[in-house]
A = this chain, B = another copy of it.
Amino acid sequence: MRPNNRPINQTRPVTITRNYTRYAEGSVLIEFGETKVLCNATVEENVPRFLKGQQQGWVTAEYGMLPRATHSRTQREAAKGKQGGRTMEIQRLIARSLRAIVDLKALGERTITVDCDVIQADGGTRTASITGACVALHDAINKLMADGVLKQNPLKGLVAAISVGIVDGEAVCDLEYIEDSNAETDMNVVMVEDGRLVEVQGTAEGEPFSHSELLTLLDLAGQGIQQLVEAQRKALSE
């Protein structure tokens, strides 16, 4: 049995709170069960050097974890003087996922940075980050539309992410920490709302996994993503 008798194809309760802080153009607290991530989108009227003069915008992301978001304290990256490999990998993934739903030409020469800071971690911080960052990005772009800065909406839809994995021989979706740390195979799937794939990152933690296990996991991921997109739609309609 999964914790809380959760069915294998069901995500944890998802809560999306918009306008969580005052200053960001988009500010979302997303909760996947006990995992809580604050996603703040910032609009800046310039682009990174490598895009200067190319009449397009940029969407990027940064990821961080508060030192005591975890069971035991993790050393602060600012104090260590560098971001670790895991942090870099995750923030690159979030950024690519967000760019999948933005027409960068239509965004114009501006940058949107989404900061995803984990307040509390119980598995799935990167998938919660992507799912919440999508809503923060929508809010930030809707603000640019409402302010008349943008005439044409650069958004192509919604993007969400979910983890799936094989735990004790069974495929389950949206793993919490206790499941994640026992998973034989762990896969993060990023999809747009019509079910097409943006990213698939599957890793065999122990034994390699078979083609059919992969298909089972992808199917579960699709079911989970629909629940997440539903939550995003509901939040954005409020």
Contacts and interface: CB of A to CB of B under 8 A. Distances in A.
With a 10 A CB-CB cut-off, give which of A42, A86, A88, A208 has the most chain B CB atoms: A208
A232 interface: no
A40 B40 CA distance: 21
Contacts of A78: 64, 76-78, 80, 82-83, 87
B208 A198 contact: yes
- The A contact surface, by secondary structure, is mixed
Interface residues of A, number: 65
Interface in A49-107: 62, 64, 66-73, 76-89, 91-92, 96, 100
A92 B96 CA distance: 19
B115 A76 contact: yes
A155 interface: no
A196 B218 contact: no
Interface in A123-158: none
A201 interface: yes
A94 to B, nearest CB: 12
A192 interface: yes
Contacts of A88: 84-85, 88-89
